[in-house]
Amino acid sequence: MKILVTGGAGFIGSNFVFHMLKEHPTYRVVCLDALTYAGNLSTLDPVMENKSFEFVKGDILDRELVNKLFKEENFDFVVNFAAESHVDRSIEDPDIFLRTNIIGTQVLMDACRKYGVKRFHQVSTDEVYGDLPLNRPDLFFTEETPIHTSSPYSASKASADLLVQAYYRTFDLPITISRCSNNYGPYHFPEKLIPLMISRALNDESLPLYGKGENIRDWLYVGDHCTAIDLILHKGKVGEVYNIGGHNEKSNIEVVKTILKELNKPESLVTFVKDRAGHDMRYAIDPSKTRRELGWEPTTLFNEGIKLTIKWYLENRSWWENIISGDYKDYYEKMYSNRAGEQ
């Protein structure tokens, strides 16, 4: 089997590359990644010497390069992680989100049609369902929940989902889509809530919580996401959407307090800042279809996963210190200077 993993130098894609090489040692895994600010080649160091693995630097928007790669490799599976993934950046500048997340997906699917694949899997997100109110804990997103997006990021992911479903209906492209809740774990880029808070708390810096910190996210350890995608590729039904989530709902303030407690740092580091525009209140996935049809179960509960994650950030300081000492510094200044002290 030959598998193309796009966006494999990012957070979830790299964890998926490690997972596939470990669980399917006879597969050839090719990673195509443009190495944007979010991609980090050093993340793939542990597998660079693996004979079953190859890294190709390239953009999924580059049709010529993509077609050449598909022609040479004759892939069986394509798993598309490549995306612009940060909501705050999409609010600042939506343009690249529409190009990479929508048109990039189209370029990949056109190559799949041209050269033939057994499966094109689109890694989507629970954000395509919009949000749920805080006062209705009985409500969950199912695969039947209507698409209803809030940010340019989620709108671009939802657009891609619709396009993927159109390629199935119109061209019989063998697709599957997964919609997962918030991931956390090793190699998570420090602009996102959990790694941002861990890295800043370790440096005794203020922790910027948007609004009142009451928004709820449904956290899933990244390894559990990888296992689910592996199952969808091997056992999932073509044309179907699968929700992935582990019923680990936490408010942002709860998450941050847990991190501070684990690191033995004071809660006075928390600073409430101006809210995110259009901020989704609550995400909560109902994963029963994926559990019932594929036998998937998450194995890492939040209390255990957050400890593993903190341990990883403590043991891999150079990975995130390299990131926050570069262009990221300017990013943080730009994004957070106009939020400070406001609510």
**Cβ-based neighbours of 139, under 8 Å, separated by 6 or more:** 132, 133, 284
Binding partner of residue 87 among ligand NAD, ligand DAU, none, CB cut-off 5 to 8 Å per kind: ligand DAU
Instruction: Answer for the pair 70, 112: CB distance below 8 angstroms, yes or no.
Output: yes
Please confirm, yes or no, whether 27 is among the known catalytic residues.
Answer: no
Q: Which of 30, 24, 23 is nearest to 9 (CA)?
A: 30
Half-sphere exposure in the Cβ direction for 23 (13 Å, CA):
14
CB of 204 to ligand NAD, least distance (A): 26
CB of 78 to ligand NAD, least distance (A): 13
Identify the active-site residue in 33, 84, 127, 249: 127
How many angstroms separate the CA atoms of 216 and 210, rounded?
A: 12
DSSP state of 282: B
Residue 108 or 209: which CB sits closer to ligand DAU? 209
| CA–CA distances in Å: residue 188 to residues 176, 180, 312 | 25, 15, 10
**Cβ-based neighbours of 169, under 8 Å, separated by 6 or more:** none
Q: Which of 143, 34, 151 is nearest to 98 (CA)?
A: 151
Residue 209 or 232: which CB sits closer to ligand DAU? 209
Please confirm, yes or no, whether 110 is among the known catalytic residues.
Answer: no
CB of 266 to ligand NAD, least distance (A): 28
Q: Which of 137, 153, 154 is nearest to 247 (CA)?
A: 137
Identify the active-site residue in 33, 59, 84, 126: 126
Binding partner of residue 13 among ligand NAD, ligand DAU, none, CB cut-off 5 to 8 Å per kind: ligand NAD
For the chain, how far is it from start to end, CA to CA, in angstroms?
Answer: 52
Identify the active-site residue in 153, 167, 221, 242: 153
Q: Which two tokens stand for residue 94?
A: 């939506």
Residue 333 phi, psi dihedral angles, 5° rounding: -55, -50
CB of 276 to ligand DAU, least distance (A): 6
Residue 177 or 269: which CB sits closer to ligand NAD? 177
Binding partner of residue 215 among ligand DAU, ligand NAD, none, CB cut-off 5 to 8 Å per kind: ligand DAU
3-state helix, strand, coil in the chain (%, to 5): 45, 15, 35
| CA–CA distances in Å: residue 126 to residues 107, 187, 217 | 23, 21, 10
Binding partner of residue 209 among ligand DAU, ligand NAD, none, CB cut-off 5 to 8 Å per kind: ligand DAU
CB of 15 to ligand NAD, least distance (A): 8
Binding partner of residue 156 among ligand DAU, ligand NAD, none, CB cut-off 5 to 8 Å per kind: none
Q: Which residues bind ligand NAD (CB under 6 A)?
A: 6-7, 9-13, 33-36, 38-39, 59-61, 81-83, 85, 100, 104, 123, 125, 157, 180, 182-183, 189
Residue 59 or 126: which CB sits closer to ligand DAU? 126
Beta strand 77-80 with 2-6 is parallel
Please confirm, yes or no, whether 254 is among the known catalytic residues.
Answer: no
Q: Which residues bind ligand DAU (CB under 6 A)?
A: 85-87, 125-127, 181-182, 192-193, 196, 208-210, 215, 217, 252, 276, 283
CB of 290 to ligand DAU, least distance (A): 16
Supply the residues annotated as catalytic. 126-127, 153
